[in-house]
Amino acid sequence: MQVRQYRMLIGGTFRDARGGKTLDAVNPATGEVFAQFPRGGSEDVDDAVTVASAAFPTWWAAAPLERAAALESLASVITEHAEEFAMLDVIDNGSPLREMRKDAHNAARLLRYFAGVVFEQRGDTIPGLPGRLNYTLRHPFGVVGRIIPFNHPLMFAAGKIGAPLIAGNAVVLKPSEHTSVSALRLGELAAEIFPPGVLNVVTGLGSDVGDALVTHPAVRRIAFTGSAQIGRSIQARAASEVVKTVTLELGGKNPVVVFPDADLDRAVEGAVRGMNFTWQGQSCGSTSRLLVHRSLHDEFVERLSRAVGALRTGPPTSEGTDVGSIVHRAQFDKVMSYLKVAAEEGLHLVVGGRAPDDPELTGGLFVLPTVYDDVPSSSRLMREEIFGPVLVVVPFDDYGDAIRIANDVAYGLTASVFTRDLSTALAFARDVEAGYVWVNDVSAHFLATGFGGLKDSGVGREESLDEVLSYTQSKNVNVLFD
């Protein structure tokens, strides 16, 4: 197999790392190295921040529609290259083709949405003394550092640069070292659209490139999507040189709660879909805790077991595959370690719980979709984000019990409730500690509705006007005019 070499985009040119080091891009479904890309360091971040700082004033001064047109052009280019991007992400990340194809189109939709709100970045006029005018202006930060995780490589690379760019900032994007190729390919296409330095893509390890970006004194705004553990360290590190604004989209241990009056077909379908087995459970929004009312429990678990058992684990490149490969070896080992903990804790395994024995899959990092039942609150599987295809089920007795269990974790990203009772639904939406709540549905994201977490799941809201405004700072002006 031909190993393609990718380069970073810095100041409109394609570059290796100054230190000359590279990283391998590995196909997790086969173990093959299919590409190499730069292992950048702090000196490369410094170069990127310098060119971004130089590009910022002109980009900010551009007519709003010019910035919007650039985002729309990028969206069109992504749509034209959707199949190529989908296949790149499949090979790099291990998720099935069907899902990665959706990611490419979602990336384009996000960019189009942000292009469309360019004129919504408004200020206020504030009533005050006669003869005075008081108003606010919105001011971009200058250079924004955007750090993203491995689970939706292109969708995040493209979708998460839209808001800072439309607000007039220049961006330094740092993709995951495990899935960098689609971001670098995006850089190749974006170089034809954006003025040099407006968008830069720097690859490498989080502890090198990521940390250099987080601590760089000229980057006043950091937006991070990733684990809570790294998010917390970023919050601390960001303050080490200068004061910064940091937003965090972190992990989840999201509950899906099924009340006795729920539509069972819908709830079973929701419990399976919400778990995002189709990304091997590697989703911040995975509903990885299923709380079922005791009166439904036995029937529900039986139906769930059949639905989960019917998912096809297979080569991610195949159209018919539902569940692909875990993204990289360390993540695979982490998932397997939780299966070991489950065995040690004596948890009741309903389905899965092991790697598949299909000989076609032996070279890859596959884990069968897994369900454990009757899992106690004390279990690590109830409290920790596994980020793998592992769903835990717990019965509950009444509303108070359900809310107590649902809120009994450090995370607070999403929650879903299945009920036909309006009061139960509205009370749940009020009482559950989560930043996004679905009633009789799961998982789906809707453009313009702010996504983000409470508690250890993060700070800030994205995919909405809130996200755009978060890349601006408000400036107050007081004018004495007579």
Chain positions contacting ligand NAD, by CB under 6 A: 147-151, 174, 176-177, 206-207, 210-211, 214, 225-227, 230, 233-234, 249-252, 284, 385, 387, 413, 453, 458
Nearer to ligand NAD, 52 or 351 (CB): 52
Question: Shortest gap between Cβ of 253 and ligand NAD (angstroms)?
Answer: 9
CA proximity to 390, closest of 224, 233, 248, 276: 276
265's CB contacts (< 8 A; 6+ apart) are none
For residue 50, what are its two tokens? Answer: 């310098």
Question: Shortest gap between Cβ of 124 and ligand NAD (angstroms)?
Answer: 29
Question: Shortest gap between Cβ of 106 and ligand NAD (angstroms)?
Answer: 13
Share in percent of the chain as helix, strand, coil (round to 5): 40, 20, 40
Nearer to ligand NAD, 35 or 246 (CB): 246
Nearer to ligand NAD, 300 or 436 (CB): 436
Residue 239 is given by DSSP the state T
Question: Shortest gap between Cβ of 235 and ligand NAD (angstroms)?
Answer: 11
Nearer to ligand NAD, 147 or 296 (CB): 147
Nearer to ligand NAD, 86 or 284 (CB): 284
Residues catalogued as catalytic: 249, 284
Helix (H, G, I), strand (E, B) or coil at 64: helix
Nearer to ligand NAD, 284 or 403 (CB): 284
Residue 451 is given by DSSP the state B
- Specify whether the backbone of 232 is left (phi greater than 0), alpha (psi in -120 to 50) or beta: alpha
Please count the other Cβ atoms lying within 10 Å of the Cβ belonging to residue 14: 15
Query: At residue 206, what are phi and psi to the nearest 5 degrees?
Result: -65, -40
Question: Shortest gap between Cβ of 437 and ligand NAD (angstroms)?
Answer: 15
323's CB contacts (< 8 A; 6+ apart) are 96, 277, 278, 280, 311, 312, 313, 314, 366, 368, 369, 389
Question: Shortest gap between Cβ of 475 and ligand NAD (angstroms)?
Answer: 29
- State how far Cα 309 lies from the chain centre: 27
Q: In b/e form, how buried is each residue of 335-367, taking b as 16+ CB within 10 angstroms? A: bbebbeebeeeebeebbbbebbeeeebeebbbb
Question: Shortest gap between Cβ of 405 and ligand NAD (angstroms)?
Answer: 20
Nearer to ligand NAD, 249 or 373 (CB): 249
- Written in H, E and C, the secondary structure of 42-62 is HHHHHHHHHHHHHHHHHHHHC
> Number of C-alpha atoms within 13 angstroms, CB side, residue 200?
31
Question: Shortest gap between Cβ of 73 and ligand NAD (angstroms)?
Answer: 26
Nearer to ligand NAD, 36 or 73 (CB): 36
Q: In b/e form, how buried is each residue of 80-109, taking b as 16+ CB within 10 angstroms? A: ebbeebbbbbbbbbbbbbbbbbebbbbbbb
The C-alpha atoms of residue 44 and residue 118 are separated, in whole angstroms, by: 31
Residue 361 is given by DSSP the state G
Nearer to ligand NAD, 72 or 211 (CB): 211
Question: Shortest gap between Cβ of 231 and ligand NAD (angstroms)?
Answer: 7
Report CA dihedral (191, 192, 194, 199) to the nearest 10 degrees: -10
- The tokens 């879903």 sit on which residue? 416
The amino acid occupying position 144 is V
DSSP code string of 386-403: --SSEEEEEEE-SHHHHH
The C-alpha atoms of residue 463 and residue 449 are separated, in whole angstroms, by: 7
